[in-house]
Amino acid sequence: MRYRGKNRESFQRSNENVRESTQPVKPLSENVMVNIEYIQTVFGHTSDLHISDLVLKERDSRLVYLNGMVDHSIIENFELALVDLHLERDISSSSLPGDIEEIDCFDQLIQSILSGETAILIEGVMKGFILKTSSQKVRDVSESTSEQVVRGPKEAFTETLQTNTALIRRKIKDANLWSITRQVGQSTQTDVSVLYINGVADEKIVKEVLQRIDRIDIDGILEGNYIEELIEDPTYSPFPTVYNTERPDGIAAGLLEGRIAILVDGTPFALLVPALFVQFFQSAEDYYQRWDIASLIRILRVFSLFMSLLGPSLYIALSTFHQEMMPTNLLISLAAQRQGVPFPALFEAVLMEITLEILREAGIRLPKTIGQTVSIVGALVIGQAAVEAGFVSPAMVIVVSFTAISNFVLPSYNIAISIRILRFLFMILAATLGLYGMALGLFALSIHLCGLRSFGVPYMSPIAPYVKQDQKDTLLRLPRKHLVTRPRLISQKNIVRQGNKSE
């Protein structure tokens, strides 16, 4: 459950007070068996909790760890090294072999065991020792599957936080790249890292990001979307105000502009804030191609945006209310096609759009070997059968198909889904008020977008408010020698990013 404002903060403080009062810090005992009994009680005598004797001269000692989460070779090497040592009373982390850390309470002990470490309990010692034995099965760095490029780096994030952080540091070798880690989730204790470049990022935004993360009170974080929904600006909007990507070069570019990255352990997608509307129509490949090619591709994306949003609604409005705007030959052809169709244009469009959405989702869920085949064959067979049966006209099939293809041109999956949702609203407006309804919808949509903010930054900047200096990398991308400054509304200091050339 999510709480906002003062009510949520008071709820968070009350929860912290309850946890502090009901779960006081319990120190370790000198008696090993007392410690073992408490650990077994906490874990509910779970079958994967392994407790074994430790060879230590004149000491009753135990090793405690969870099977499947430790590297057994490290434990074996530790036990072999311990045989050659003659420890009496002066046992400390420095006297034991291996990477050892001392702890003095059960909270730290339990958390370490849950993290894959091995606890060492020794009779007569009112401390515990943690041997670093965590063994995680990690996926190798592979090629991005959701943001493929023709030219540029192919590597993508993995599910391991340390690996993802290293991928970013390989690209930004700067000591000012700072990382702050929080543990979020009462049960999962998921590591969430906030990365930013000190001296470039706005300190107010960094502070706001950390405050929003600290206010999260939830039982578990399993994916980055948990964090995204809990920290985004309060708004009822289909448009995303937090950018996500699985490309390290995209995160590195955002950090160099003054943005803040959020990495969540266990997910191959990183978050980037503040997020702007124009950012969702820009691809990493724009900066690996010539500036003129990149600019033309961006213009193509803008055209695809309007076609994806307004394609079916424009056809509905023209064929229903504004026939005089179409050439005579085209009007006669469309009228002949619709002669045997018993349904209005709106029903045709909705039927085809819903069918297309079903095929799209089916293609995603099916195995890769047959998913694309089923989608293509299904679309061809269903479309042809619908035309022959007289449910839809051939022109409507062409319009809906072109609209779907235009939607795939958008580089961000999040913004593409938002456009697909709004497409149905514009079809209803076109079927009721024609072009006037579409104009009204565009006007309301513009007002809505201009009212959105992402961590205090206007969502439509640098278009609204208009920032002249930032237009060189918005709808068009000018040559790199002109990209001298960082975005003005994102980075308030250290604006100049290269040379002393004039803008």
Distance from C-alpha of 168 to C-alpha of 253, rounded to nearest angstrom: 10
Predicted confidence at residue 370, as pLDDT, reads: 65
Predicted confidence at residue 344, as pLDDT, reads: 86
Is the model's pLDDT at 5 over the cut of 60? no
- Give the tens place of pLDDT for each residue, 63-90: 999 988 888 888 888 888 777 666 655 6
Residue 495 dihedral angles phi and psi, to the nearest 5°? -70, -45
Distance from C-alpha of 286 to C-alpha of 401, rounded to nearest angstrom: 27
Amino acid, res. 14 = S
Distance from C-alpha of 228 to C-alpha of 86, rounded to nearest angstrom: 53
Predicted confidence at residue 211, as pLDDT, reads: 94
Terminal CA-to-CA distance of the chain, rounded, Å?
Answer: 48
**β-strand 243-245 against 118-122: which pairing, if any?**
unpaired
**87-109 average pLDDT score:** 77
SS3 270: strand
**441-458 average pLDDT score:** 93
- Give the tens place of pLDDT for each residue, 191-239: 999 999 998 998 999 999 999 999 999 999 999 999 999 999 877 889 9
Residue 337 · residue 394 · CB < 8 Å: yes
Residue 121 · residue 64 · CB < 8 Å: yes
Packing angle of the helix pair 345-365, 291-320 (nearest 10 deg): 140
315-318, long-range: CB < 8 A, 24+ apart: 315/345, 315/349, 315/395, 315/396, 315/399, 316/345, 316/346, 316/349, 316/427, 316/430, 316/431, 317/430, 317/431, 317/434, 317/435, 317/437, 317/438, 318/435
Q: Find the range with the poorest average confidence among 30-44, 88-102, 429-443.
A: 88-102
Predicted confidence at residue 15, as pLDDT, reads: 44
**96-125 average pLDDT score:** 86
Cβ-proximal residues to 21 (8 Å cutoff; 6+ apart), any chain:
none
Stated pTM of the model: 0.81
Predicted confidence at residue 6, as pLDDT, reads: 39
Residue 24 · residue 81 · CB < 8 Å: no
Q: What is the mean pLDDT of the chain?
A: 84
Residue spans of the domains in the chain: they are 5-131, 161-275, 291-457
Q: Find the range with the poorest average confidence among 9-23, 27-41, 65-79.
A: 9-23
Angle (nearest 5°) at CA 170 between 166 and 173? 115
Is the model's pLDDT at 243 over the cut of 60? yes
- Give the tens place of pLDDT for each residue, 321-334: 988 888 888 888 88
Residue 201 · residue 491 · CB < 8 Å: yes
Predicted confidence at residue 86, as pLDDT, reads: 62
Distance from C-alpha of 488 to C-alpha of 471, rounded to nearest angstrom: 11
**β-strand 61-66 against 270-273: which pairing, if any?**
unpaired
Cβ-proximal residues to 233 (8 Å cutoff; 6+ apart), any chain:
241, 452, 453, 454, 455
Residue 452 dihedral angles phi and psi, to the nearest 5°? -80, 150
